[in-house]
Amino acid sequence: MLALPTHSAPVHRLLALAALAVATTACGEQSATYFLGGESATYSTEEVIAAFTRHRYALAPRALPKETVAAREGALLTPRGGTPFIVVVASNAAADEAWPGYQSQQTPDSFAARRGNVVVISESGLGSDQHARIRAALSSLPDRDVAVVIAARE
Task: Output the pTM of the full model.
Answer: 0.73
Model pLDDT, residue 14? 53
Burial of residue 10 (CB within 10 Å: 0-12, 13-18, 19+) is buried
Could you give the strand order of the β-sheet that contains 76-79, starting from the edge strand earlier in sequence? 59-62, 76-79, 86-89, 118-122, 111-115, 149-150
Would you state the pLDDT for residue 154? 57
Residues 130 and 83: beta-carbon distance below 8 Å: yes
Q: So what's the pLDDT on residue 98?
A: 87
Contact 97, 85 (CB under 8 A): no
What span, in angstroms and rounded, lies between the C-alpha atoms of 74 and 90? Answer: 10
CB of 98 within 8 A of CB of 104? no
Written as tens digits, the pLDDT of the chain (154 aa) is 334 444 555 555 555 544 443 433 333 333 333 333 334 579 999 999 999 999 999 999 887 666 554 444 447 899 998 889 999 998 888 888 889 988 888 998 999 999 999 999 999 889 999 999 999 999 999 999 999 999 977 5
Distance linking the first and last C-alpha atoms of the chain: 29
Q: At what angle do helices 45-54 and 128-139 cross, to 10 degrees?
A: 130
* pLDDT at residue 67, as a whole number: 53
As a whole number of angstroms, the distance between CA 70 and CA 64 comes to: 7
Residue 115 contacts residue 149 (beta carbons within 8 Å): yes
On whether the CB atoms of residues 52 and 137 are closer than 8 A, the answer is: yes
The answer to whether the CB of 46 falls within 8 A of the CB of 89 is no
